[in-house]
Chain A
Amino acid sequence: MSAPEPTAAPTGVAVRVRGACRVFRSAGEADVVAVDGVDLSIAAGEFVAILGPSGCGKSTLLRMIAGLEPLDAGDLGFGAGGGAPKNALAYVFQDAHLLPWRDVLANVALPLELQGRASGERRDAALRAIAAVGLADAAQRHPAQLSGGMRMRVSLARALVTEPRLLLLDEPFAALDEITRQDLDDQLRALWAATGMTVLFVTHSIAEAAFLAERAVVLTRRPARVVLEHALDLPAQRDAALRGDARFAREMSVLYEALRRGNGKAA
């Protein structure tokens, strides 16, 4: 099998995070430092997994990059220009978070609707995105009529519909069963390869990080700091067989070691 390298002119956008800090303050409680001086440099079109223990602040980091959370210190830059790219960003949450009163088509078209695009264009783009995640037959169904995996696919289609240059995913498949999850992992990698977008994938699963990404960034327990940045030495074309491969096991043990180190007491 020949590998479909993501060589198509990288439409992805580069991300640069310098010294990012985020502290949550609430009255009557001790301050919680969620992210403490994280530096990240992500090339245009790269697929990076951010790996860390549950509750370590990796979601906060992702939300900061998305502009959903302010930075208490440090700075954030995109591409060459540095400013946040308008309409170029998409975010996939831990659960599907669909609008239960809208069918699949209308859910997927929502981002374009909010951006004020024409209805014909919305429909065409939404149908394309729905087909890309393999749900063409379910366009008229409502979220309550879908399984968890299908709902997550709809959520993915909703993120893809704007043809984002930077896709941020926050443990999107964590609640799914193993088979569905692997299916979606395969699909996500294929979509990344086809579009050339930059993908930042937050997960606490070592296997998922190793299978999906070109590079893994391992974070410590809260407050999140970078323990390891590691380029994964795995083929571009990945399939189920890779999970049993010795190279895969070796990469997993590297990540596991880093995760252990970051999880130790005094960081």
Chain B
Amino acid sequence: MKPRFVETFVPPAATFLLTTAAAEFGIRAAGVSPLLLPTPSAVARAALQHAPTLLPALAMTAQAVAIGLALSIALGLLVAIALSTSRWVERAFYPYAIFFQIVPIVAIAPLLVIWFGYGMRAVVAAAFIVSVFPVIANSLAGLLSVDPALRDLFRLYGASGFARLWKLSLPWALPNVLTGLRIAAGLAVIGAIVGEFVGGGGLGVVVLEAMRQQRTDLVFAAVLHAAALGLALFAAVNATSHFALRRWHTQETEP
């Protein structure tokens, strides 16, 4: 276990320390204005100093992301199940699901404020809209890829439609659902920040205000908080995948 840990965490930590140190000394040596590019230490100071603002903002953004993502999973999976029931349903509705993929969230965010008002609800809607498509597309691909022989097997033993879905299609699609979720997690953070630019609240507002006050160091600190949120979600999905699929891909014990 120990060597695995070292292998996993030492190289990226070394990269982090080296680039941070290089940035610190490079920026100082070049005499770049802190308005353009603050040093890592200045960013760290700003983060500590503004922690009372940043942390509640982070919590707020995280909440909007969590709700938006939960809606994406629930509704995205339901839509994928509905689309997988028949070729005709898929042909009729899938082209419109792509709407969620191509809609420019920045352009539609003001509309969300008109519909949902300022605050959390518009932000959740923005996070949902950008993250639902990868869940639909990947889940649908998984549901449609069920082994035909296993479908035959379920038919042979007179399985009900519910049993086919619950005991075959959904577990079969799980790896795809999780892949969709991994993509959706990162997108939901982007959607929420854009939503906050327009609808208010959270890290999005911290970024906007710091920009107006020309506090580039605080902008960086807020961006890093948003990135940490995305990373934490990504890690959570990965851990879930690892746990849920650990039985699927163990090595063979003999040829």
Per-residue CB contact flags for chain B residues 218-255 toward chain A (1 = under 8 Å, else 0) read 00000000000000000000000000000111111111
The residue on A at minimum CB distance from B245 is A101
> Contact at A111–B157, with CB atoms within 8 Å?
yes
Q: Is B114 an interface residue (CB 8 A)?
A: no
**How many Å lie between the Cα of A111 and that of B156 in the bound state?**
9
- Whether A114 contacts B158 in the complex (CB less than 8 A), given A97-B149, A97-B153, comes out as yes
Shortest Cβ distance from residue A166 to the other chain B in the assembled complex, whole angstroms:
12
Per-residue CB contact flags for chain A residues 81-106 toward chain B (1 = under 8 Å, else 0) read 00000010111010101011101000
- Whether A114 contacts B154 in the complex (CB less than 8 A), given A100-B247, A144-B247, comes out as yes
**How many Å lie between the Cα of A146 and that of B254 in the bound state?**
7
**How many Å lie between the Cα of A146 and that of B159 in the bound state?**
27
Q: Is A145 an interface residue (CB 8 A)?
A: yes
Chain A residues with Cβ below 8 Å from B248 are: 100-101, 142, 144
**How many Å lie between the Cα of A100 and that of B150 in the bound state?**
12
**How many Å lie between the Cα of A145 and that of B250 in the bound state?**
6
Per-residue CB contact flags for chain A residues 161-186 toward chain B (1 = under 8 Å, else 0) read 01000000000000000000000000
> Using a Cβ cutoff of 8 Å, how many contacts connect chains A and B?
66
> Contact at A68–B158, with CB atoms within 8 Å?
no
Shortest Cβ distance from residue B161 to the other chain A in the assembled complex, whole angstroms:
12
Q: Is B171 an interface residue (CB 8 A)?
A: yes
Chain A residues with Cβ below 8 Å from B247 are: 100-101, 103, 142, 144
> Contact at B163–A146, with CB atoms within 8 Å?
no
Chain B residues with Cβ below 8 Å from A147 are: 252-255
Chain A residues with Cβ below 8 Å from B255 are: 147-148
Per-residue CB contact flags for chain A residues 42-77 toward chain B (1 = under 8 Å, else 0) read 000000000000000000000100111000000000
The residue on B at minimum CB distance from A100 is B248
Residue in A66, A103, A113, A145 whose CB lies within 8 Å of B156: A66
Chain B residues with Cβ below 8 Å from A99 are: 150, 167-168, 171
Q: Is A115 an interface residue (CB 8 A)?
A: yes
- Whether A68 contacts B171 in the complex (CB less than 8 A), given A144-B250, A145-B252, comes out as no
Shortest Cβ distance from residue A26 to the other chain B in the assembled complex, whole angstroms:
15
Per-residue CB contact flags for chain B residues 139-174 toward chain A (1 = under 8 Å, else 0) read 000000001011011111111000100011001001
Shortest Cβ distance from residue A143 to the other chain B in the assembled complex, whole angstroms:
8
**How many Å lie between the Cα of A4 and that of B195 in the bound state?**
77
- Whether A146 contacts B158 in the complex (CB less than 8 A), given A99-B150, A100-B248, comes out as no
> Contact at B156–A91, with CB atoms within 8 Å?
yes
Per-residue CB contact flags for chain B residues 2-27 toward chain A (1 = under 8 Å, else 0) read 00000000000000000000000000
Residue in B152, B159, B167 whose CB lies within 8 Å of A91: B152
**How many Å lie between the Cα of A93 and that of B151 in the bound state?**
12
**How many Å lie between the Cα of A91 and that of B154 in the bound state?**
11
**How many Å lie between the Cα of A67 and that of B153 in the bound state?**
11
The residue on B at minimum CB distance from A98 is B150
Residue in A63, A100, A114, A148 whose CB lies within 8 Å of B159: A114
Chain B: residues with CB nearer than 8 A to chain A? Answer: 147, 149-150, 152-159, 163, 167-168, 171, 174, 247-255
A91-B156, A146-B253 known, 12 other contacts, Cβ within 8 Å: A63-B152, A68-B156, A90-B156, A91-B152, A99-B167, A101-B248, A114-B154, A114-B157, A114-B163, A142-B248, A147-B255, A148-B255
Ordered by A's residue number, 24 sampled pairs between the chains whose C-beta atoms are within 8 Å are A66-B156, A68-B152, A68-B155, A91-B156, A93-B149, A95-B149, A97-B149, A99-B171, A100-B248, A101-B174, A103-B247, A110-B157, A110-B167, A111-B153, A114-B154, A115-B157, A142-B248, A144-B249, A144-B251, A144-B252, A146-B252, A147-B252, A147-B254, A162-B157
